[in-house]
Structures are given as structure tokens and as C-alpha cells.
Chain A
Amino acid sequence: MLQVNPTVTRSQPMSLVHRTVLDNGIVVLAIENPAADIIAGRIFLSAGSCWEPREKAGLSHLLSAVMTKGTEQLSSMEIAERVESVGASLGADASTDYFQVSLKTVSADFGEMLQLAGQLLRSPTFPETEVELERRLTLQDIRSQQEQPSAIAFDQLRQAMYAQHPYALSTLGTEATVSQLSRADLQQFHQTYFRPDNMVISLAGRITAADAVDLVEQVFGDWQPPTAPLPVLNLPSVISQPHPKVAPQETQQSMVMLGYLGSAVQEPDYAALKLLNTYLGNGLSSRLFVELREKRGLAYEVSAFYPTRLHTSQFVVYMGTAPENTAIAIEGLRSEVERLCNTELSIDELQASKNKLLGQYALGKQTNAQLAQAFGWYEILGLGIEFDTRFQESVNHVTSEAAQQTACRHFLKPYLSLVGPEKALNTAASVF
């Protein structure tokens, strides 16, 4: 008889995350962690792919690629040499819900690198030759996605589920949209969204909270926000219209993905869906792993994901399997998800899933980079650093009944995305 212990998970004590707001609107988070001689920084802006017009998809990503390649004072190579000569890392990335700059140094070099990050953020020049280069390389990157069956399957699924909503597309954009992007587009996006009242700076490591705030004040304190208000984001609603999509490819495996629209992070069903995702797909003791891999040998990779998103999210279960098992895989995944609408989790199953979710949540906040990332992210999503505690509480409060009701609201009919040899997809067509 398996004995399951109730777990009280250690959350990051709130006293260790210091929050300050500068006069110009920048939210500064400081987490003191003197254990290692490292400081990690994350600078977030509400300027991810969601803020791009559809016809300019890929803009935020291109900006992230070119931003580090020239400022009013420094060329691309000078910037690279500055960073690499101190053995630091400094880079920019675009996500759907935010734009971020990441840096990591030994503590002595952090001030200098934050200064440099400040210059990149405040006065990038987007040299024309660099725009050309990065655009060309992005187009190659987009084409390279076609090499991975899981990327093809996910791209197909995402487009089916989101239609005209920005979440439909990869942050890279499409070949059509990226080839049209210009330096002027980058400048305009930068001017509109890169402002101190749209920014969170999160530092963690061998630095005191007071020093962290001082440093940020030195680098960013005199940055004045423009008088014009931030543009309001108007996104199309996402309407549920489940249907299958297939992409024949001469691959060794079929990739099968089932998708259901899921709650955004601030919506009431979020915690229950996170718990169901853990129950189904997290780890070697998860339902999908046990039923479809361990007991039936159908897959090496079988799992589920439900990303935390500002807007409507996706609850996805997937599996890579031998082509002749495509139909069985679809049936298997589908029945496991829909079972949750008819069956309540037992007390043990519920508690085990809670322990797993919350235990692993705690494990994901160990390094300075993880700490800086987690709390900065909560702030940029508008959740606040207290979300760390609220999340754990709301997970603990989910009942079996509530989980089943949540399943009934979301797991009605799946979107289906299939990639595999044509013959296998045709044979499986009867199942959908």
C-alpha cells in the first residue's frame, strides 16, 4: 500500500524578495543570495510577440537579435568583446508574453554589464547591415524548424487553435512576415514599448538589496517615460473549433498531439489545470507515462504541457510512436484526457499530484538565474511576487470534485495535429 505524505512545501520566504518601484516606474526586485559569487539579472518588458501586428510577426524576435549589435557608442563586435572579455553572458530574447534581457556575471563585473545592458536597451542603433544579416538568418531558422517533426506538429496545432490570435505563430514569425520587416519597424517598436514604465528588473545573487536598487537607479534612474500612454492591446478572442490537421512527412515515427484550449493564468481554473497536467504528464509516475509507455510500450516520449500564459493557453498531450500505432496513440491519449471528465481523482492521486507539482516547483527556484527569472516573470505578467505564495495555496485547495468539473469545462473535444508517413496518417484517419 503506497503511503503518501502530505507535504508542506518551502516557498521562497517573502522577506528575501525585496520590491521597489523607482520614480520613473521601473519595478526593481532584489533577491539576496550570497552562496555563490554570481549575480544573475533579468530585465522584462511587456513587448513580446503579442504586441506585434499580425503582418509584422517576428518583429520582437528580430529586435532581440539586432539590439545587441550596436549602440550609439559601440559596434556589434565591441559589445561582444566587452561581454566576453569578462566571461559574462548578456543576451536578449522575445517570448509571446514579454521581451527579456538576461545577464550573468561574477559579482565584481555585474555593475559594468548592467551599464552595458542599459545602453543596449536605451540607445540601440539597429545598424542596417545587422538587420539584414539577422533577418536572413531568421529566415533560415524558420526553415530549419521543418526538420523536427515535433516542431511541425506543434506549429500546426498552434495555428489551428489560435487562428488570428498572436499565439498562433512562432515568435520567429513566418517567411512572409519576416522578409518584410525593416529597420524602421524595429525603431518604431522600440520607441513605443521600451520605456521605464513598462519594465521590471529582477536581480539575484551576491548583492544586497540596497546595492541592487542603487545600481539600477544609477543605470536607469534618469530614463524618463514618454508622455504618451502605452498603447492598449486589443487581441481577438480565441474561439473553440476543434478539428484535425495532418502533415505527411517521411519520418521514422508519427508525432501525435491533442490540444484543448486552457485558462489564462489569472482565470479561476488555472490551478486545477496545472494539477491535471501534472497528474497526466509529469514524470515517471504520471498517468500517460504509466498507461501508454510502461504498460503498453507505445512510446519513448509521451507527456503533457500547459504553459502559464497571459492569455488563453493550451493544454496539450502528445506522443511519438511507431507509424502503425498512430490510431492507437490518438485513442490512448484522448481516452486518458476525457476520462478526467468522468472520473474523480482519488484522495491519494490528488495528494500525490499536489506533492509532485509543488515539490518540483520548489526545485525550480534554486539558482540565481531561476530566482531572478521566476519573480521577474510574475511581475511582468501583472501577478506580483506574492503569486509565488498564492499559486501554492490555490494548488493545495483544489479538490477532486473541482478538478473533475474543470476537466468537463475544458476537455470536451480535442484539436488534433498529426505528423508522420502518409500511409500511416491515412490509415488512422478513420479515428478522427
Chain B
Amino acid sequence: MSQTLISSKFPADILKLENGLTVIHQQIPATPVVVVDVWVKAGAIAEPEEWCGMAHFLEHMIFKGTERLAPGVFDAVIENRGGVTNAATSHDYAHFFITTAVQYLEDTLPVLAELLLNAAIPDDEFLRERDVVLEEIRSCHDNPDFVGFQALTQSIYQHHPYGRPILGTEAQLMERSPEQMRCFHRAHYQPENITVVIVGGVAKETALELVNRSFQEFSPPTACPLSEADAEPPLTEIRRQELYLPRLEQARLLMGWIGPGVDQLRDAYGLDLLSILLAGGRSSRLVREFREEKGVVQDISSGFSLQRDSSLFTISACLEAQHLERVEALIRDRLYQLQTTPISEVELQRCQRLLCNDYAFSTEAPSQLAGLYGYYHTIAKAEVAVTYPEKIQEFQLSDIQQLAQQYLSPQYYAVTVLHPSWW
């Protein structure tokens, strides 16, 4: 029935069903809760360019029922038993999850499977739900941080689909039809693209039997326009965007660099370390200097976002417009310092400890574990997820310098500035 591919250090079991679907299960005996988190390789990068927004719109439409199940029935089944359900779409994935009391797993998991496998995407629901997605787009565009981040990613990724808006645009969505969506659904929601993660107070046999029974009747895949993911060439300049937004009180400075994808996981983790070194906590370099000592930013942060093909490293600040130029220049200078001067052992250890503890704090609840395994398995392999703390501990001082040299150039980066515009 299934084939176990297990690593002895990985706390969960990974199994592959005959039809190619992957199941990841971890029992946590003390909890009355179970999470089912279904990850599908049907994120925005699976869309052909003209179908921008399709993956996210489909995520909405999954909840609109099947031939057997009217819209709203699934929601009521989960919530009337005291559970919660939701979904999200990003570039590399779409995922759907339910959290429920253990005794209701049997009532709820099969219903989720029914929705995912047999989505009917009714015509009238498609039209109504498109209005909802348009409201979502409008709401996001009223948020300056969303607008800024979208502009930055568009600027950095000019070839790769990571630069496209996940929500799509109104113009493109108005061109789409239910039939196209059904095609996209049938093409991508197939067992080889799906990982079902179950974490909580339920035993392996019960979980496996339920998943195997429920995730059987996949529709035959249909041909569908394919996406083409062109690799993104490295930045060879400072790619600048200046936007003027009405209603903006504070300026924003967003700087971005392209980082390694999952095929260079060690480097990726190193950039995680660098983001903490730069702006993780009050004693980090940029927070200490810019917020605490010079008082030239309201807030400064740094992030590393691991993505399958190519990751994103950002430094963002919220500040008064008068300090924009100076702060950008100083950040360039601090990056140059990072490339040329070793950091201290104390600093390195602090960052390592912060990240390792953060990992522990982020893997406490079943939903956190399920999300971690599902995400990793979709873009790489789930077993790798738990190697994070030991890999972080392996970094040496010289690694930091080398990573800064390789990835965080003070001369080549993308920068998006949001200016308040007072009419």
C-alpha cells in the first residue's frame, strides 16, 4: 500500500502512497488536537504569465464545493465541531489546513479531501468569488507596506515569476474563465504534487488509513498552458524605484538582494544568520546604530525568505523622509564592513543562539510542525527541516564574511523608496 522513506533522526514518518501522494505523520500523544495541512505544488509559479492570479483565485474556489458537497457545507462541518480551517497561496505552494479535536478527524479529513480532489468551480460562484478577490486586491493596495514590498519583488525578479503579484491584477482576473480554472486545477492538484501532513494526538495507522481512503479519486489530469520559470540573472547595478504614495506618513526604504534557493541550503541558512546579525533585536548592528543611537529610523528590520529557486534577502526601514539618503548610504557602508571585517565570536554566538531558540519556539504547536514539514517537503525535503539548528551551529566567523561578500553587495541591489506625497 505505501512505501516508507524514513530518516531515523526525523521525528515524523514520511510515506508515499501507491498513487504518488506523500503523507507525513507525527504523533504527539499529550495533545487533544490534530492538524491536517495539505500542501500542493500549485503556487503562483505554476501559472503561465497570462494566468497571473489563477493559483490564488483557485485556492478561494476550492471552498466552493463539489458535485457532492454544496458551498459552505465544509466550513460548517469543521467549525460546528469547534475546529478552524483556512488556506494560503504563495509563489511555491498553495496549502489548506484544518485544526480540530482528535475525535473529529474522521468527520473532517475526508471532506477536505473531497473539496481538493473534486472542486466543481461552479460558474456563478466563480463570478461572485472574483468580486471577493478584487476586494482583497483593493484592501492590499490600501496598505503601503504591501505596495512597497510588491514593487520591490517586481523590480528584483524581472525574469523569474517570483516577481509577479500572487493576487494577480484586476485586468487579468476579468479575462479568466471557470473552464480555464478547472483546467489548472486538474493539471496541478494531482497526487505527485501533494503532501498531506498530519500532526497531533492521532496514531499513525489511523491517520494513514484515513488519508489513503480519502485521497483516491483524482480526476484525470488535463493539458494546461505551462509556466516557464526563467532563471533570474544577478543584479549588476543599483536598481532604483521611487514611489510617491498619498496618505503616507513615514517614508519607507526597502533594499533587496537575490539569495540562494533550496539547492544551496547551507548558504540560505547563513543568510538567515546575517539577517539576525544585521537587524534581529535591539543589540543587532542596524537596530542599535539607527534606532537606538542615531535615532534616524522608527523601525528597521531584515528578513531572509527561503524560496525554492531563489530566495530574497531584504533590509527595510520606516523613517522620516529627511533621513532616507543618509540611511541608505550608511547601510551600504555597514555591508561593506561586513565583507571586510570579521564579526566577533560573541556576536556570532548570540545570533546562533537566537535562531536556534527561535526554531524551538516555532515548533511547539502541532500547527507549527505541520506547516514546517509541509513547506519544506514542497520546496525540498521535509527531513531537512529539523537539521536547521545543527546547521546554524556549524557556522564559523569566516563563513559570515564570505557570505556577505558573495550575496550582500553594497554596489548591486534593488531599492524601493516610498515617499509621502503631500499635495
Q: Which residues of A contact B (CB under 8 A)?
A: 2, 4-5, 7, 9-10, 35-38, 76-77, 80-81, 83-88, 104-106, 133, 136-137, 140-141, 143-144, 146-149, 249-253, 282-285, 290, 293-301, 320-322, 351-352, 355-356, 358-360, 362-363, 366-368
Contact = CB atoms under 8 A, between A and B. Distances in A.
B142 A146 contact: no
A301 B31 CA distance: 32
A85 B351 CA distance: 8
Given A84-B350, A363-B83, 15 more contacts: A5-B81, A10-B101, A35-B28, A77-B288, A84-B281, A87-B355, A106-B360, A148-B142, A252-B139, A253-B135, A297-B135, A300-B133, A359-B100, A360-B82, A363-B33
B282 A80 contact: yes
Given A85-B350, A283-B84, A250 B135 contact: no
Contacts of B101: 7, 10, 359, 362
A146 B298 CA distance: 15
B364 A38 contact: yes
A252 B170 CA distance: 13
Contacts of A252: 138-139, 141-142
Interface stretch (B8-16, B228-236, B244-252, B253-261): B244-252
Given A2-B76, A2-B80, A284-B63, A320 B357 contact: no
B247 A249 contact: yes
Nearest to A138: B298
Contacts of B355: 87
Contact of A284 (B32, B79, B291, B295): B79
Contact of B282 (A84, A253, A298, A321): A84
Interface in B76-95: 76-85
B360 A251 contact: no
B329 to A, nearest CB: 21
A297 B283 contact: no
B143 interface: yes
A363 B84 contact: yes
Contact of B139 (A76, A140, A320): A320
Contacts of B32: 10, 362
Contact of B346 (A7, A38, A85, A137): A85
A290 B104 CA distance: 23
A146 B80 contact: no
Interface stretch (B67-75, B151-159, B206-214, B306-314): B67-75
A80 B139 contact: no
Contacts of A35: 28, 30, 364
A312 B28 CA distance: 41
B263 interface: no
Interface stretch (B124-132, B219-227, B380-388): B124-132
A160 to B, nearest CB: 22
A284 B350 contact: no
Contacts of B129: 297
A418 to B, nearest CB: 14
B405 interface: no
B217 interface: no
Contacts of A249: 247
Nearest to B32: A10
Given A87-B356, A355-B82, A144 B131 contact: no
Interface in B305-358: 318, 320, 346, 349-350, 353-358
Nearest to A370: B365
Contact of A76 (B63, B77, B134, B282): B282
A283 B79 contact: yes
Contacts of A368: 364
Contacts of B358: 87
A200 B366 CA distance: 29
Contacts of B284: 84
A282 B349 CA distance: 44
Contacts of B48: none
Contact of B248 (A85, A147, A285, A356): A147
B292 interface: yes
Interface string B107-147: 00000000000000000000111111111101101111000
A282 B75 CA distance: 11
B361 interface: yes
Interface of B: 28, 30-33, 63, 71-73, 75-85, 99-101, 127-136, 138-139, 141-144, 246-250, 280-284, 288, 291-292, 295, 298, 318, 320, 346, 349-350, 353-358, 360-361, 364-366
Nearest to A2: B76
B364 A36 contact: yes
Given A85-B350, A146-B249, A147-B247, A285 B79 contact: yes
Contacts of B72: 284-285, 290, 294
Contacts of B78: 285
A356 B365 contact: no
A80 B247 contact: no
A148 B79 CA distance: 30
A9 B360 CA distance: 29
B80 A355 contact: yes
A84 B283 contact: yes
Most interface-central of B77, B131, B291, B356 (chain A CB within 10 A): B131
B295 A136 contact: yes
Contacts of A284: 63, 72, 75, 79, 85
A296 B80 CA distance: 23
Nearest to B292: A76
A363 B99 contact: yes
Given A76-B282, A140-B250, A250-B247, A297 B128 contact: yes
B361 A104 contact: yes
A144 B295 CA distance: 17
A333 B141 CA distance: 24
15 contacts: A5-B80, A35-B28, A84-B281, A106-B360, A140-B250, A144-B318, A147-B144, A251-B142, A251-B247, A252-B141, A294-B71, A297-B130, A298-B131, A366-B33, A368-B364
A88 B298 contact: no
B364 A143 contact: no
A82 B136 CA distance: 43
Contact of A359 (B81, B127, B366): B81
A251 B131 CA distance: 17
A9 B75 contact: no
A293 B132 contact: yes
Residue of A4, A104, A366 with most chain B CB atoms under a 10 A cut-off: A366
A369 to B, nearest CB: 8
Contacts of B75: 283-285
Contacts of B246: 250
Contact of B283 (A81, A250, A301): A81
A355 B107 CA distance: 15
Contacts of A296: 128
B198 to A, nearest CB: 16
A140 B282 contact: no
A352 B79 CA distance: 8
Contact of B298 (A7, A144, A290): A144
Contacts of B364: 35-36, 38, 366-368
